[in-house]
Amino acid sequence: MNVLVVNAGSSSLKLRVLGEDDTVLAEHHAERWTGETGPLEDFLSTAPPVHAVGHRVVHGGAAFTSATAIDDDTRTRIEALTALAPLHQPRALAGIDAVTRLLPGVPQVACFDTSFHTTMPAAAATYALPSSWRRRWDLRRHGFHGLSHGYASRRATELAGRPGARVVSCHLGSGASLAAVANGRSVDTTMGFTPLAGLVMATRSGDVDPGLLVWLQRAGLSLDDLEDGLEHHSGLAGLSETGGDLRDVREAAESGDERAVLALQVHGHHLRQGIAAMTASLGGIDLLVFTGGAGEHDPVLRAETVAGLAFLGLELDPGRNAEVSGDTRVSTSPTEVWVIEAREDVEIAAQTRELLNHRVRPAPQPCAPGR
């Protein structure tokens, strides 16, 4: 079964056709995509036959805990979650609609970034909010980047030969999050009800004192301006007054820009703090995994992060870290550090095939930290 994987980001579009053995038969990456059909139509005109389509959908809420066949009802329920992931959900819907027009009759499957984190224990998933609020709006920590965390943590444990390992997975790109994974199950993560929480990101703030947000509203900032500022003008962009790309921020810092220097310091502080917190949720760490654009391609980021976490028994091999190619162990310490190529497409294709082949996956069960 050839599976077309449609990975629609907040502004980009990644397309791949994977064969039965996950060989990449065709691919296309558009850095800028606003939802138009053209790129998909052009790609499909030369791509091999497609038997099924798997879509990455960022937010599944409480309704979607596993891959789900797409029909009119599924699309409507995905659209209803747009307010919780305003940067991503509209793009996923645009991809679904484009494929529906271009490949009528080909089965489509939605694969959710949130579903991997449904195994988090209640202590990690529950907000300390009034119970009436939690019941009315089903408020909980959902977590995101689950397709990436699931693949990267599994791949690293396979390569390390440690299937039951306690893994802290670091998905670091324009969006960024950490996950604590034990026995292949998520037990904690840095993102929450929306993809805005957790680490400092390219344009997103990450964790902010909720009292500060209340104060800003009382000071006269509108809800629309607050949302726009937190989503599009915060993070590395807000600190450095650049576009937020980590490469540009690092270049500015190296030229002596004090704003960029501070941005890197704040970014690194929260990253190290988050890794230590995920380690605490696991009761220890066996593998630290870097994935995503920055995680894979920024050796300075990895070196600085690991240097600040030496107390966890982490030590890099400078040579390996500087010359990463593919999936690579970059540590000399017993607590291993791995760089794993982000392959959400493999995870999406696997979930798509599994659903369409009517294989029943056991319902995920919460597991205690450290098990």
Say what the pTM is: 0.92
Query: Residues of the chain with pLDDT > 70: what percent?
Result: 96
Strands 13-18 and 328-329: unpaired
Residues in the chain: 371
The mean pLDDT value for 321-349 works out to 97
Cβ pair 206, 274 in contact under 8 A: no
pLDDT the model gives residue 134: 96
pLDDT of 54-73, one tens digit each?
999 999 998 899 999 999 99
Q: Residue 50 above 50 pLDDT?
A: yes
With cut-offs at 50, 70 and 90, classify the pLDDT of residue 359: very low
3-state secondary structure of 33: coil
What 8-state DSSP symbol labels residue 115? G
For 274, residues 6+ apart whose C-beta sits below 8 A from its C-beta are 178, 190, 198, 199
Nearest to 50, CA basis, from 21, 7, 79, 16: 16
With cut-offs at 50, 70 and 90, classify the pLDDT of residue 364: very low
Cα–Cα distances (Å) from 206 to 24, 101, 158, 175, 203, in that order, read 34, 37, 31, 10, 9
- d(CA 247, CA 266) in angstroms, rounded, equals 15
- d(CA 81, CA 83) in angstroms, rounded, equals 6
Q: Residue 208 above 60 pLDDT?
A: yes
pLDDT of 146-166, one tens digit each?
999 999 999 999 999 999 999
3-state secondary structure of 94: helix
Residue written as tokens 């999936």? 327
User: Which domains occur in the chain, in start order?
Assistant: 3-112+345-356 (3.30.420.40), 162-340 (3.30.420.40)
pLDDT the model gives residue 182: 98
Torsion region of 9: left, alpha or beta (phi above 0 gives left; psi -120 to 50 gives alpha): beta
pLDDT the model gives residue 11: 77
∠ CA 280-282-284 to the nearest 5 degrees?
70
Mean pLDDT (the chain, rounded) = 94
Q: Residue 352 above 90 pLDDT?
A: yes
pLDDT of 267-301, one tens digit each?
999 999 999 999 999 999 999 999 999 999 999 99
pLDDT of 332-341, one tens digit each?
999 999 999 9
3-state secondary structure of 339: strand
Q: Which residues are catalytic?
A: 113
